[in-house]
């Protein structure tokens, strides 16, 4: 395993934070069925985490563009494409089960290649609606790849300036086009905020152990409160800055984490967070429709039903990770690595085999 892989294996605090964010995602979509919005800030946590993780991956300065592209494509694309095709064929077989999603080949291609477009509902969502966050992730990865190509020594500055420029230009343009609206979202700046978190952590910034856990809880509660109290405020200010503090608090707890069953369970849920994120809408929606038929008067709008939905979606996500996501990732990584090696000139060094989730 590479130095980066070893570092990530040691950062159990971030894996546990992923578990918290993934659970918040499920709670958010369960509560939407009740007409109550909660947990939208989980996106901001993931974006800041992503910025931190990519900065950590690139910090040794040895990763090539090819290695970076292979690791990101293998991690993101296979499972997302699989779930997108499930939605596409589902819309063909049972269009009545979908709201604004239709079996449109053009929209399918845009979804598969992470191109933002406006749906009939007016929202900028791909076929698998939770994939809207992946459109931002892929943009971040493309900018990062350009940074490795053009300004390796100033790669983090390039990423920050490039994303900030895209955002400012989009805001000033006041475009009604899907791409303009997509870029005018200040959550785009949370990736550089994640890089700033890595920068602070690398230089020894730590929250005192006695304050780290209360601080992390306080940031989570603050974002929860702000979601209701300040719904029209800037996501970057309302959620991004608290997410910066939350990640730093989590990192400061790294040495306090003990190896026990509860910790291992949380770490596994965190590792499965991507699979859970993509699969949970199917579980939540299935339970919304099936629970009342199985038990009369019992559904996910009731507290007990909501808790059951969160537990089932979490367990399903872990199973999906074990039997679908992980095998898909390993297969994609081996395939892309093999193709990359065959395209290398004679005598060139082979790709590193680390797993950069």
Compute and round to an integer the Cα radius of gyration of the chain.
20
Q: Which phi and psi angles does 170 have, rounded to 5°?
A: -65, -40
CB 11 within 8 A of CB 253: no
Number of residues that this document lists for the chain: 357
The answer on pLDDT for 352 being more than 70 is no
Report how far apart, in Å, the C-alpha atoms of 303 and of each of 35, 59, 225, 291 are: 14, 45, 20, 13
> What are the distances in angstroms from CA 306 to CA 32, 86, 180, 334?
11, 25, 37, 40
Q: Residue 295: what are its φ and ψ, rounded to 5°?
A: -125, 110
% residues pLDDT > 70 (the chain): 93
3-state DSSP call for residue 52? helix
pLDDT in tens, 226-258: 988 888 889 999 999 999 999 999 999 999 999
pLDDT of residue 349: 40
| Whole-number pLDDT of residue 3 | 42
* pLDDT at residue 62, as a whole number: 82
- Tell me the C-alpha distance between 292 and 299, whole Å: 5
Give the model's confidence band at 315: pLDDT under 50 very low, under 70 low, under 90 confident, else very high.
very high
Closest CA to 12 of 341, 314, 264: 264
Please tell me the distance from the alpha carbon of residue 337 to that of residue 347, in angstroms, as a whole number: 16
Residue 291 has, within 13 A of its CA and on its CB side, a CA count of 19
The answer to whether the CB of 252 falls within 8 A of the CB of 206 is yes
| Residue written as token pair 């038990």 | 295
User: What is the band of 2 on the pLDDT scale with cuts at 50, 70, 90?
Assistant: very low
Neighbour count for residue 248 (Cβ, 10 Å):
23
**Burial of 304 per CB tally in 10 Å (0-12, 13-18, 19+):** exposed
pTM of the model: 0.92
**Average pLDDT, stretch 329-336?**
96
Question: Rounded CA gap, 44 and 194, in Å?
Answer: 10
Token pair in block for residue 218: 């306080």
Instruction: Tell me the domain boundaries of the chain.
Output: 3-14+43-256+328-343
Residue 283 to residue 288: CA distance in whole angstroms = 9
pLDDT score for 232: 81
Give the Cα separation of 82 and 64 in Å (integer). 28
Please state the rounded mean pLDDT for residues 215-219: 98
How many CB atoms lie under 10 A from the CB of residue 302? 13
Q: Which two tokens stand for residue 35?
A: 């007409």
d(CA 324, CA 265): 19
pLDDT higher at 303 or 86: 86
Axis crossing angle, helix 42-58 with helix 241-252, rounded to the nearest 10: 60
Q: In Å, how far are 51, 58, 76 from 141, measured between CA atoms?
A: 10, 12, 11
Checking if the pLDDT of 19 tops 90, the result is yes
Q: Which pLDDT does position 146 carry in this prediction?
A: 97
């Amino acid at each position: 395993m590479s130095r980066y892989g070893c570092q990530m294996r040691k950062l159990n605090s971030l894996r546990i934070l992923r578990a918290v964010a993934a659970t918040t995602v499920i709670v958010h979509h369960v509560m939407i069925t009740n007409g109550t919005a909660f947990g939208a800030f989980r996106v901001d946590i993931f974006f800041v985490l992503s910025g931190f993780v990519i900065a950590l991956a690139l910090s040794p300065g040895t990763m090539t563009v090819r290695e970076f592209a292979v690791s990101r494509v293998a991690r993101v694309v296979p499972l997302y494409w699989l779930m997108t095709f499930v939605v596409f064929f589902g819309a063909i077989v049972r269009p009545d089960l979908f709201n604004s999603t239709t079996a449109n080949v053009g929209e399918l291609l845009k979804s598969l290649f992470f191109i933002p477009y406006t749906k009939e509902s007016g929202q900028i969502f791909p076929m698998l609606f939770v994939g809207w966050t992946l459109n931002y992730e892929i943009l971040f990865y493309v900018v990062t790849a350009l940074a490795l190509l053009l300004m390796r020594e100033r790669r983090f500055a390039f990423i920050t300036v490039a994303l900030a420029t895209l955002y400012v230009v989009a805001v000033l343009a006041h475009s009604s086009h899907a791409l303009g609206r997509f870029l005018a979202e200040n959550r785009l700046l949370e990736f550089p905020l994640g890089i700033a978190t890595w920068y602070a952590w690398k230089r020894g910034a730590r929250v005192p152990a006695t304050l780290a856990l209360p601080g992390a809880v306080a940031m989570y509660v603050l974002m929860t409160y702000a979601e209701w109290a300040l719904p029209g405020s800037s996501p970057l200010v309302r959620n991004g800055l608290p997410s910066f503090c939350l990640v730093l608090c989590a990192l400061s707890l790294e040495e306090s984490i003990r190896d026990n069953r509860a910790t291992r369970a949380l770490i596994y849920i965190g590792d499965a967070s991507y699979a859970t994120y993509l699969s949970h809408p199917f579980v939540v929606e299935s339970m919304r429709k099936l629970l009342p038929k199985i038990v009369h008067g019992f559904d996910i709008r009731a507290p007990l039903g909501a808790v059951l939905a969160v537990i089932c979606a979490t367990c399903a996500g872990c199973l999906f990770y074990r039997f679908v996501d992980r095998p898909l990732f390993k297969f994609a990584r081996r395939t892309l690595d093999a193709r990359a090696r065959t395209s290398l000139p004679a005598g060139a060094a082979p790709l590193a085999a680390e797993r950069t989730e």
